[in-house]
Amino acid sequence: MGAIGEDGVRIVNDDLRRRAGVSDADLSAVERRERSELERRAERFRSGRGPVAIAGRTVIVVDDGLATGSTALAALQVARAHGASRVVLAVPVAPPETLREMARHADDVVCVEAPASMMAIGPWYDDFRQTTDEEVVQLLASARGSSAGIYPADVESDESETGARLAGGEEAGRNEEVDLVVGRARLGAHLAVPARARGLVVFAHGSGSSRQSPRNKHVASVLAGAGLGTLLFDLLTESESLDRANVFDVRLLASRLSGAIDALRSDPGLRPLAIGAFGASTGAAAALWAAGEPSSPIAAVVSRGGRPDLAGARLAYVRAPTLLIVGGADLDVLDLNRDAARHLRCPHRVEVVPGATHLFDEPGTLAAAASLARDWFVAHLPNPSLPSGGGGRGT
C-alpha cells in the first residue's frame, strides 16, 4: 500500500488503502515497524559509511520492474531530497500507466518493455528469486575493493574506510584482539582460529555480560580443543550498554550478530569456514533471531540458559539445527525453552543439565554444557577439510 525512504520520505497509495480498509492506526503501526527495518538495512549495507554525497549529481534509480511504482517513487524522492540535480529511472518492464506517473517525478524514464496488460513482474523473469542481505553486503564490499569490517585492535583507522585484513595466515592460525565495525558501531572482539579450523562459532553474550564473560571463555576453550574457531565480541558499545533497554533489544542484538558475521565472511581466510552461533540468555534470542533471517549463513545454533522465547515468531523460520541447553534447577527458563522448542521447525533438541541453575555455577555443570555444545557444533558444522559432500559426525 506504499513505501518509505530515508529522511522521512513516505509514499501511500490512498486508493488501495481505502479499498483494503486500512485505518490510520494500522498504517502508523506498519510504518513504525518498517522504518525500524529500513534503519537496520541502511546500517548493515553501509558498513559504517555515511550516505554517498549526491548533491548536484545525476542519479540513476534502477528497479527490477514496476507494478504500482511506490518503491521507485520513494527512491526518486529520496534522491531529490539529497539534492540530486537530475534523476533518471531505469526499469526493464512496467505498465504504461505507471510509466506515465513516473515521468512526472523523474527527469527521464528508460524502460525496455511496456506491455499493455501486466499482472506482475515475476513472469517476465526466468529467475526472480530475492537478492539476500548477505549478497548485497558482499557485492558492495567487492565494489569497494576491500574486506570491510575487521581491524587489528591496536591500529587506529578511519571508520569511513573499512577493510584492514587480519594478520596471520590459515596455516598459522589466529589468536588476537580485533575490532569489528558494524554499521556505525566499533565493537571490541577476540578472534581465535586454530590452523585448519573446522568451523567458526560466534558468541552472543547475555544481558549484563560482555566478551570477557568467563563462562563463554570456558566454552570457547572447549570448542578450540575440537578444532573450532571462536569469536567473542561486545554486542553493544560502552555507551549503548549503559541503557538497559538496549540489553533487551533483541532486534538490535541480532543485527549486531549478523553484522559481525558479515565482517568475518568478508575476510578471504575466514570465508570458507561454516558459521555457528552460541548464545546465552538474551544472546540466545539474538542468535535465533539472526538465524531466522532468510539470508542467514548460520549453520548451527546452541543456546545455554537462553531465552529463546524472546525471538518470538522468528523461531519458526530458523533452519539451522538448534540445541537448547538448560539447567535442571532453572525451572522457569526450562519451561520457556520447552515451549520455544515447540515453535521450532528445524532439527532441534532440548538438553537438561541436572542440578544446574541459570548461571551453571554448580561444580561440573558448565563443563557438561560446554561438552554438549562442542558435540553439537562438530556434528552440524560442515568440515571444509573433508571432500565435497562430506561432513562432521552424524547425530
Residue with cell 565435497: 388
Q: Please name the helix (run of DSSP H) or strand (run of DSSP E) that holds residue 300, with its range, or none.
A: strand 298-304
The CA distance from 331 to 37, in Å, is: 35
Q: Which has the minimum average pLDDT: 183-192, 225-234, 315-324?
A: 183-192
The CA distance from 306 to 150, in Å, is: 28
Give φ, ψ of 219 to 5 degrees.
-60, -40
Instruction: State the number of CA atoms in the 13 A half-sphere of 83 facing the CB.
Output: 7
| Mean pLDDT in residue range 379-393 | 61
Residue 74: per-residue pLDDT: 87
The CA distance from 348 to 352, in Å, is: 13
Q: What is the pLDDT of residues 5-44, one digit of tens each?
A: 887 888 888 887 888 898 989 989 998 889 888 888 888 8
The CA distance from 19 to 135, in Å, is: 36
Q: Which SS3 state, helix, strand or coil, does residue 324 take?
A: strand
The model's pTM is 0.62
| Mean pLDDT in residue range 150-171 | 43
The per-residue b/e assignment along 127-163, b for 16 or more CB within 10 angstroms, e otherwise, is eeeeeebbeebbebbeeeeebbbbbeeeeeeeeeebb
What structural domains and CATH numbers belong to the chain? 2-129 (3.40.50.2020), 145-380 (3.40.50.1820)
* Amino acid present at 231: L
